[in-house]
Each structure stands twice: as structure tokens, then as C-alpha cells.
């Protein structure tokens, strides 16, 4: 939070200095009974510099937008694995979930395969069962991910009752046609394009591992 406040001060600094300089130039001009040519040139230069500072400050506001604030997700920390999974699958799921939780803004995640929850990790939601809603079903059908950048703005957020109630952003990443990787973030608009590519690669790797294991032939989602 201190870092965010420091960035805000730095972005505002050119605006403040430029505005203050312009005001001081105006006061100085009004208090001077006789304007010399040299002073007029100095005032003109000062006005230009003040205008440039103000313009720089305005550009910084656009180029460096204030990052959204993170929240503390509500719920207990946990790590739940389907007990009858093969050891190789358990190891793969444990590794993949750890990488996502430690290298992205993900704070809660689930792996669903053949309509069964294989993994819940991070901050756990109240509901341990996943009933696929329209968004998850569309992801499964189209095999295309969906990124809800600010979950609070989407009416469809009610289907994610298995995530913490104050989850800020959600990625639903397909795992072939049999599963889906669901990630919950504590900050809106926080996943980068690089994150999305990396998440896709991990989901594909998990799907391949599960396919090879032959663990389940249950009904697809």
C-alpha cells in the first residue's frame, strides 16, 4: 500500500509544481510595476516550463494508471485433493497449483475433471461442490477461456459460489473437453497476457497428465 501511495505522489508532482510555478509567475507579474524586456522573456519561458510540467503530469495519469487495490479474500486456507488419484496426478496437481498461487495473483483455484472436483487450494469457498453454470459450460463447449476481469460487474458471478465471496477476478481455462481450471484473484484486472498464456500451458499439461492416467471415465461436464 505504501508503494501505491508513493506512485500516486510521483504522478501528481509535475501537476503540482507546474501549477504552483504558473501561480507564482502570475503573482510576480502583478506585483511588478514596470515590466522590462528581460523579465518578459523570463516570464514567457517560465510559462512554457509550467505548461510542460502540467502536460507531463496529465500524460503520467494516463500512461501510469493507478493500480487496483488488492483485497483479502474471505475464507480459510486449504489444500484438498481427490484421495483416490494416482500419485503422479497428485504430484502434478500439487506442483501446478503451487506455481499458480505463487507466481500470479491467483489466491484460490479449483481443478474440475469429468464433473468431479480433483483439487481445491488457496482460499477456499464455502461450497466444496462445483455445479457448472452457463459460463463454465460455455468454456467447456467452445474450449476457449473466459476471463472475468472484475467479477462484481458480472451478473453471472452467482455461479461461482464455490469461490470466496469477495473474489475480484476469475479465469475459467478449459482442460481439453473433460475439465476446467478455475482461478480466483484478489485484484480486479490483474492477470496479464503473459499470465493467460502461462495458465493455458499449465491447463494443457494437466489435461494431458489426466488423460494419460486414465483415472476417470465419468460423465463429462
Q: Is residue 102 part of a domain?
A: yes
Q: Is residue 37 part of a domain?
A: yes
Task: Give CA–CA dist 199/180, Å, rounded.
Answer: 11
Q: Is residue 209 part of a domain?
A: yes
Which CATH number does the domain housing residue 182 bear? 3.30.450.40
The DSSP output letter for 220 is P
Q: Is residue 40 part of a domain?
A: yes
Q: What is the mean pLDDT of residues 7-36?
A: 70
> Strands 146-148, 116-123: parallel, antiparallel or unpaired by DSSP?
unpaired
Helix (H) or strand (E) holding 143: none
Is 83 in the same domain as 174?
yes
Residue that finishes a domain, picked among 13, 38, 63? 63
- Outline where 64-166 has alpha helix (H): 87-103, 134-142
Q: Report CA 148 to chain centroid distance, whole Å.
A: 10
Question: Residue 213 has what pLDDT?
Answer: 86
In the chain, the number of structural domains is 2
Is 34 in the same domain as 130?
no
The model's pLDDT over 98-108, given as tens digits with 9 standing for 90+, comes to: 999 999 999 99
Is 146 in the same domain as 173?
yes
Contacts 24+ apart (CB under 8 A), 148-151: 149/188, 149/189, 149/191, 150/188, 150/189, 151/188
Question: Residue 11 has what pLDDT?
Answer: 67
Name 181's Cβ contacts closer than 8 Å, sequence gap at least 6.
109, 110, 111, 112, 171, 172, 173, 174, 175, 199, 202, 203, 206
Mean pLDDT of the chain: 84
Hey, how many other C-beta atoms are within 10 angstroms of the C-beta on 156? 15
Query: Of 145, 73, 144, which is closest to residue 105 (Cα–Cα)?
Result: 73
Give the pTM: 0.69
Query: Of 186, 183, 181, which is closest to residue 207 (Cα–Cα)?
Result: 181
Task: Give CA–CA dist 158/132, Å, rounded.
Answer: 11
Of the chain, the percentage scoring pLDDT greater than 90 comes to 52
Q: What is the mean pLDDT of residues 139-164?
A: 91
Residue that finishes a domain, picked among 33, 63, 93? 63
Residue that finishes a domain, picked among 63, 97, 113? 63
Burial class (CB in 10 A: 0-12, 13-18, 19+), 211: middle
Query: Of 87, 119, 99, 80, which is closest to residue 213 (Cα–Cα)?
Result: 87
Query: Of 192, 202, 147, which is closest to residue 170 (Cα–Cα)?
Result: 147
Question: Residue 4 has what pLDDT?
Answer: 47
Amino acid at each position: 500500500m505504501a508503494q501505491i501511495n508513493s506512485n500516486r505522489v510521483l504522478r501528481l508532482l509535475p501537476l503540482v509544481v507546474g501549477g504552483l510555478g504558473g501561480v507564482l509567475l502570475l503573482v510576480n507579474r502583478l506585483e511588478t510595476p514596470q515590466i522590462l524586456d528581460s523579465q518578459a522573456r523570463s516570464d514567457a519561458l517560465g510559462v512554457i516550463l509550467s505548461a510542460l510540467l502540467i502536460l507531463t503530469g496529465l500524460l503520467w495519469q494516463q500512461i501510469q494508471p493507478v493500480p487496483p487495490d488488492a483485497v483479502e479474500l474471505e475464507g480459510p486456507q486449504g489444500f484438498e485433493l481427490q484421495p483416490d488419484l494416482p500419485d503422479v496426478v497428485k504430484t502434478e496437481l500439487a506442483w501446478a497449483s503451487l506455481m499458480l498461487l505463487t507466481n500470479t495473483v491467483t489466491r484460490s483455484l479449483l481443478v474440475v475433471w469429468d464433473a468431479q472436483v480433483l483439487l481445491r487450494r488457496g482460499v477456499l469457498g464455502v461450497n466444496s461442490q462445483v455445479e457448472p453454470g452457463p459460463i463454465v459450460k460455455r468454456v467447456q463447449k467452445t474450449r476457449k477461456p473466459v476471463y472475468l476481469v472484475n467479477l462484481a460487474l458480472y451478473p453471472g458471478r452467482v455461479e461461482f459460489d464455490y469461490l470466496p465471496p469477495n473474489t475480484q477476478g476469475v479465469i475459467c481455462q478449459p482442460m481439453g473437453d473433460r475439465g476446467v481450471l478455475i482461478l480466483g484473484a484478489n485484484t480486479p484486472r490483474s492477470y496479464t497476457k503473459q499470465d493467460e498464456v502461462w495458465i493455458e500451458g499449465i491447463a494443457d499439461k494437466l489435461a494431458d497428465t489426466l488423460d494419460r492416467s486414465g483415472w476417470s471415465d465419468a460423465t463429462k461436464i
